[in-house]
Amino acid sequence: MSKLYLVPTPIGNLRDITFRALEILGSVNLILAEDTRQAKKLLNHYNISTPLQSHHLFNEHKSVESVCSKILSGQTIALVSDAGTPGISDPGFLLVRTCLEHEIPVETLPGPTALIPALVNSGLPCDRFCFEGFLPPKKGRNKRLTSLASETRTMVFYESPYRLVKTLQEFALHFGPEREASVSRELTKIFEENIRGSLTFLSEYYTAKTPKGEIVIVVAGSK
């Protein structure tokens, strides 16, 4: 039966992909990709020649209905994002919702995502946690930080290297300078780095050493 597959792809190391993900990418009629050039690198590496179509934040509202029509007419389609799990701070949610409205089966494969290795590596409690993704850059940012000050679960954030120090300083203001945290940079890549310490220590560390690459911040919950 035709369906939509959501297929996680590596967050850095091309070998972090499951046998089943490769099987599905090689057997579907069409792969929807956030960036077709990025997807091609992965597909070429694994000699997969399935047709690609672009599906990103700026065209997904327009394209979801036609994607659903294709599946309803018998095609099986896979969605991939640039890295990690589609739908996690990446396009995916709207397509899943629309497929479900049309009673199209949706299957999400388990696989790479940046938040889980960062959380487990942090050494902070991971029995309960909340994923906050990217904080709003301006509007609503302060309100979100104020509401998170009383959060007791470990918190996971995505951040860009350009904003890391500012964000750590804001966390210190809202959560307290001694709150424990961890910064994971370039997970699964050659220069992977996991630095743990108080928010003050981390903001001083990255003030002295300008961060590069992709970053996850994990912050202990309030006691």
Beta bridge partners of 31: 52, 78
Other C-beta atoms within 10 Å of 127: how many? Answer: 6
Q: Determine the Cα–Cα distance for residues 84 and 116; give it in Å rounded to an integer.
A: 11
As measured in angstroms, the least distance from the Cβ of 187 to ligand SAM is: 3
Query: 48-67 as b/e, with b when 16 or more CB fall inside 10 Å?
Result: bebebbebbeeebeebbeeb
In whole angstroms, the minimum distance from the beta carbon of 202 to ligand SAM comes to 15
- Supply the minimum distance, in Å, between the C-beta of residue 103 and ligand SAM: 26
Cβ proximity to ligand SAM: between 53 and 121 the closer is 121
CB 113, min distance to ligand SAM, A: 3
- For ligand SAM, give the closer residue by CB, 29 or 121: 121
| Of 180 and 214, CB closest to ligand SAM | 214
* Percent helix, percent strand, percent coil in the chain, to nearest 5: 35, 20, 45
Nearest 5°: the CA angle 119, 120, 126 is 75
Are 47 and 24 a contacting pair, CB within 8 Å?
A: no
Is the CB of 113 or the CB of 182 nearer to ligand SAM?
113
Instruction: Please say which residue, 60 or 70, places its beta carbon nearer to ligand SAM.
Output: 60
* Token pair recorded at residue 112: 């790479």
Q: How far is the CB of 204 from ligand SAM (least distance, A)?
A: 21
DSSP letter, residue 9 = B
Instruction: Please report, as ranges, the residues that interact with ligand SAM according to CB under 6 A.
Output: 11-12, 81, 83-85, 88-90, 113-115, 158-160, 184, 186-189, 214-216
Q: Is 6:108 a contact under the CB 8 Å cutoff?
A: yes
Alpha helices, DSSP H, located in 73-188: 93-101, 115-121, 141-148, 164-175
Nearest-approach distance from CB 73 to ligand SAM, in angstroms: 29
Closest residue to ligand SAM in the complex (CB): 84
Q: Which is nearer to ligand SAM, 180 or 186 (CB)?
A: 186
